[in-house]
Amino acid sequence: MSAFLEVVNAHVLYGQHEVLKGVNLAVEKGEFVALLGSSGCGKTTLLRSIAGFNPPASGAIRVNGHDVTGLPPDKRGMALVFQSYALWPHMTVDQNIGYGLKLRRMPKAAIEARVAEIKRMLGMDTLGARKPANLSGGQRQRVALGRALAIEPDILLLDEPLSNLDARIRLTVRHEISALQRRLGITAVHVTHDREEAMVMADRIVILNNGEIAQVGTPEDVYNRPASDFVAAFMGAENLVELPAETKGDRVEIAAGPFNSAAVVSSRGRLLSGLSNARFRGESVELSDAQGAVSSVQDEGALRLSGVVEQTSYPGGLWRHVIAVGPRHMIVDSPRSFEIGRRVSIRIPEEALFLFPKQ
Amino acid sequence: MSAKSETEVTHGWGSKKLPQPDTAGAFRAKHAGGLAEGGCRFAMPVHLLGFLLVAPALAIVVLLFVVPLISSITGAFEVGGTVSLGNFTKAFELYSGDMLFTLAIVLLSSALIGLFSIMIGGYLTLGSNPRAVAILRWIYRWPLFIPFIVVGQILRTFLAKNGLMNNIFIELGLMTPLSAMSFLDWRGIVIAFVWKQTPFVALLLSGAMASIDRSTIEAARNLGANRLRILIEIVLPQVRTTLLVGLILSFVTMMSVLSVPLMINAQSPTMITANMAFRINAYRDYGVANALGLISLLMTSAVAWVYLRQTMREHSR
C-alpha cells in the first residue's frame, strides 16, 4: 500500500537555480513529519510544492493515490499555516477563521457553530470580535491554526509557525499543536530549522541538505544513528576530530595518535579506511583528569581524547568546557568543573561516537 | 483657486520649510562661535528666530495664495462695490444645469476610474500570465505623460462623427454611416477624464497592492478563494485608503480641468470651468466667475472632508 502523501522525485527550479534536486518523501495518514534543515536548504520550497504554490518542474505529488501535481492549491485538501500567519488585517478573528467555510458556501449558522467550536478548542472564545492587530503573537498564531483547521483539511502544512513567537510561548505552543494534531488524527508536515522543535513534535524527521534529503527517520534514529557526517553535525555532534580508522569485520580499529588512544569500536555497518571524521556531542561523553600520558592500551568500546581546558562556563545544570585537543577545540559538558589549564581526558563511548569517511 | 495651484503651493511651502533645521543649525553655530562661552546667550528668543526663518516662505504663501484666495472669495460677494449675493443668484440662474452636469460627470468619471484602476491593479497583482502582466505594466502608464489639452485633441479627432472610431466601426461593418453619431458630448469628457486619470490611480493602487503581505493572498488561495474574490475580499480592503486618496485627488484634478471641456464639448451643458473662462474672457465678469469658483471649491471641499473623516476614523482605530 502506498503512503497517504507522496512526493516522487520532485525537482523544483527558481529560474535557473535548482532548489530541490529530486526529493522522494512518503507520509502516512495521521503522521506528523518535520522537514528540518538550515535556511536555504529547500524545506520551505518542498512545503510550498506540496501545497501547490511552487509546482515542481518534474516529478509528482500524490495524495491518497491521486496525482495532485497540476492541481491548484485549494483543490488538494491541504491547509497551510504561514510563518507570518498571513491573517487578514481587515477581518475579525471570527471572520478569519470562518472565511474558508464561507468560500465553501456553508450556511451562516453552521459557520458560526464551527467557528465557535474551533475557538473553544484553541481557548480563545472571548476574542472573536478582535482584529489581528489587537492580538498577541501567540493568539495570532492560534487564529492562523484555527483558520487552517476550520476547513477540516486532510493534510495540515505548517511553515515555521513558531519562529515568530518568543521562546517561552514557543515551548507551550509546540505541545499544543502536536496534541491537537494527535487528537484530530490529522496528517501534518511541519517545516522548521529548530532541531529540538522537530524532535519534540514530529513522529518522523526529514533532514534536508542543499535540495536533497539527507536522512529520514524517527527522532531517535536521526539523533543516535545519523546517516552522514552532515546529519551528525546538524543534529548537534559538532565536535570533530580527524582520525585514521579501518574497518575490520564488524569492528573499526582506530590507531593511536598524538591526542587519542588506540580504540576498537563496533562498525555498525560503516566501511572506513584511512582518515575519517569522528564526531560526538559534548553532553554524551565523560570528562576526567588525565592519567599521565596517552595510554598505549587499546580501549574497547570507547575512544579517549586528551586535551587542556581553556574555558569554562556554567549555562545551567552542567559545566561547559572548551578543551583544546591539539589544534582543535571541543565543547564538553561535565557535572563538575575542571579548572582552566588542567589536562583532561575525554572518554567517548562507542554509541556516542559517529564515524564517517572524510570527504 | 483651482486644485492644481493649491497642491503646487503646498509643495512650495514644504520645500521652503524643509531646509529650516539646517539653516537654523548653521545660524546658531555661526553666532554661538562668536560669543563668549557659557552664560552669554543669543538675545533673540528661539520662537522669534524660527518665525524669521519661515517668514520668507510664509510671505510667499500669503502673497501668492491666501491673498488671491481671499480676494476672489470676497469678490464673489461683491456687486458694484457693495456686498451682495447677486453673483450667486446670477450664477445659479445661468449655470445651475452646468453645475449638476459638472458634478455628475466628475462623479461618473471617478467611479469609472476607480473600477478600471482596480481592474488594472488587480491584474498586475494577481495576474498569472507573466508576459501579459509585463505588457500591461509597461503600457498602462502612458496617458500619465500626455497633457490634458492633448488628450482633448486626440479624443476630438477620434470620437467625432466622422472620427477614427466611427470610421473603424463602419469599415468593420458594425455600423452604417447614417447611424454614426458624435461622442463629443458628456461621453467624450468622461472618456477623456477616465483615459487620462485611470493610470494615475492605477499607479497608486498597484503600488499599494504590491506592498501588502503576499502571504495573505496565498492564504486565501490556499483556502479556495478564486482571483476575483481575492481581489474584492482580501486585496481591496487592505488598500481602500489608497484608492480613496487616488480618487479624491483625481476628483479635484478633474474639477480644475478647462481644456477637455473646451476641446470636446463647448456647447451647453458644459462644465463650470468652461463657464468661468467664458465669464472672464467674454464679459470681464469676475464676480460671477468668482462665485462659480467658490461653488467648485465647495464641491472639492466636500470630497476633502470625506477623506479627512475617513483618515480620522482609521487613526482612531
Where residue A310 sits, what CATH number does that domain have? 2.40.50.140
- Name the minimum distance, in Å, from the CA of A134 to any CA of chain B: 10
Q: Do the Cβ atoms of A220 and A205 come closer than 8 Å? A: no
Residue B238: its chain A contacts at CB < 8 A? 88-90
Nearest to A87, CA basis, from A78, A100, A74, A96: A96
Report whether pLDDT(B41) > 70. no
Residues 226-255, chain B: which have Cβ within 8 Å of A? Answer: 229, 233-234, 237-238
The tens-digit pLDDT sequence of chain A (359 residues) is 578 999 999 999 888 888 899 899 999 999 999 999 988 888 999 999 999 998 898 999 999 989 999 888 888 889 999 999 999 999 999 999 999 999 999 999 999 999 999 999 888 888 889 999 999 988 998 999 999 999 989 999 999 988 888 888 888 888 888 888 998 899 999 999 999 999 999 999 999 999 999 999 999 999 999 999 999 999 999 999 988 888 888 888 888 888 888 888 888 777 788 888 999 999 999 998 887 555 556 677 888 899 999 999 999 989 999 999 989 999 999 999 999 999 999 999 988 999 998 87
- Please give the residue of chain B at the shortest CA–CA distance from A153: B223
Q: Are residues A254 and A290 in the same domain?
A: yes
Question: Which residues on A lie below 8 Å from B219 (Cβ)?
Answer: 80, 82, 86-88, 147
Long-range CB pairs of A117-121, under 8 A, 24+ apart, other chains included: A118/A146, A118/A149, A118/A150, A119/A93, A119/A94, A119/A146, A121/A146, A121/A149, A121/A180
User: Domain boundary at A229, A255, A280, which?
Assistant: A229
Q: Do A187 and A248 reside in the same domain of the chain?
A: no
Q: Which of A186, A207, A229 is the last residue of a domain?
A: A229
Say if residue A128 is in the same domain as residue A246. no
In a domain, B91, yes or no: yes
Q: Which residues from chain B sit within 8 angstroms of residue A52, using beta carbons?
A: 222
The grid cell for A211 is 535540495
Gap between the Cα atoms of B19 and B24, Å rounded = 9
Q: Are residues A223 and A241 in the same domain?
A: no
Question: CB under 8 Å to B62, separation ≥6 — which residues?
Answer: none
Same domain, A192 and A122: yes
Residues B138 and B104 both lie in one domain = yes
CA-wise closest residue to A330 among A264, A286, A274 = A286
Statement to judge: residues B168 and B120 lie in one domain: yes
Greatest alpha-carbon pair distance for chain B in Å reads 92
* One domain for residues B70 and B211: no
Q: Do A80 and B222 touch (CB under 8 A)?
A: yes
Q: Which residues contact A21 (CB under 8 A, 6 or more apart)?
A: A11, A210, A211, A212
Domain ranges, residue A331: 237-357
Q: What is the DSSP string of B121-188?
A: HHHHHH-S-HHHHHHHHHHTTGGGGS-HHHHHHHHHHHHSTTSHHHHHHHHTTSS-GGG----TTHHH
Whether residue B82 is contained in a domain is answered as no
Contact between chains at A79 and B223 (C-beta distance less than 8 A): yes
How far apart CA B255 and CA B271 sit, in angstroms, is 9
Q: Do residues A221 and A277 share a domain? A: no
Do the chains contact at B223 and A103, CB–CB below 8 Å?
yes
What are the pLDDT digits (tens) for B180-230?
A: 888 888 889 999 999 999 999 999 999 999 999 999 999 999 998 999 999
Residues A199 and A50 in one domain: yes
Task: Give residue ranges of A with CB < 8 Å to any B CB.
Answer: 51-53, 72-74, 78-80, 82-84, 86-90, 99-100, 103-104, 147, 151
- Looking at the structure, do residues B273 and B218 belong to the same domain, yes or no? yes
Domain of residue B162, CATH code = 1.10.3720.10
Q: Kindly state whether residues B34 and B145 are assigned to the same domain.
A: no
Residue B46 and residue B113 in one domain: no
What is the distance between the alpha carbons of residues B47 and A236, in angstroms, rounded to a whole number? 64
| A8, A23, A40, A214, B301 from A208: Cα distances, Å | 15, 9, 10, 5, 61
Q: Are residues B160 and B39 in the same domain?
A: no
**A138 shares a domain with A77:** yes
pLDDT of residue B317: 59
ipTM of the complex: 0.80
Mutation pick from A50, A78, A90 vs chain B, by most beta carbons of B within 10 Å, is A90
Same domain? B110 vs B44: no
Q: Which of A192, A210, A229 is the endpoint of a domain? A: A229
Pair B58, B97 in one domain: no
Interchain pair A73, B219: CB under 8 A: no
Q: Is B8 on the interface with A (CB under 8 A)?
A: no
Quick check: A80 and B213 CB within 8 A? Answer: no
**Cell 518665525 -> residue:** B51
d(CA A41, CA A247): 32
Whether residues A59 and A198 share a domain: the answer is yes
CATH code of residue A61: 3.40.50.300
Query: B100 and B69: one domain?
Result: no
Q: Are residues B17 and B154 in the same domain?
A: no
Please give the model's pTM, rounded to 2 decimal places.
Answer: 0.77
Distance in Å, alpha carbon of A298 to nearest chain B alpha carbon: 60
DSSP label of B232? I
Q: What angle do CA B209, B214, B217 make, to 5 degrees?
A: 90
Residue B3 pLDDT greater than 50, yes or no: no
Same domain flag for A260 and A215: no
Q: Do residues A212 and A282 both lie within one domain?
A: no
Owning domain of residue B279: 87-316
Decide which of B52, B76, B100 is a domain's last residue: B76
Total structural domains within chain B: 2
Total structural domains in chain A? 2
My answer on whether A224 and A253 are in the same domain is: no
Q: How far apart are CA B127 and CA B7, in angstroms?
A: 35
Measured in angstroms, the CA of B215 and the nearest CA of chain A are apart by 5
C-alpha to C-alpha distance for B86 and B287, rounded to whole angstroms: 9
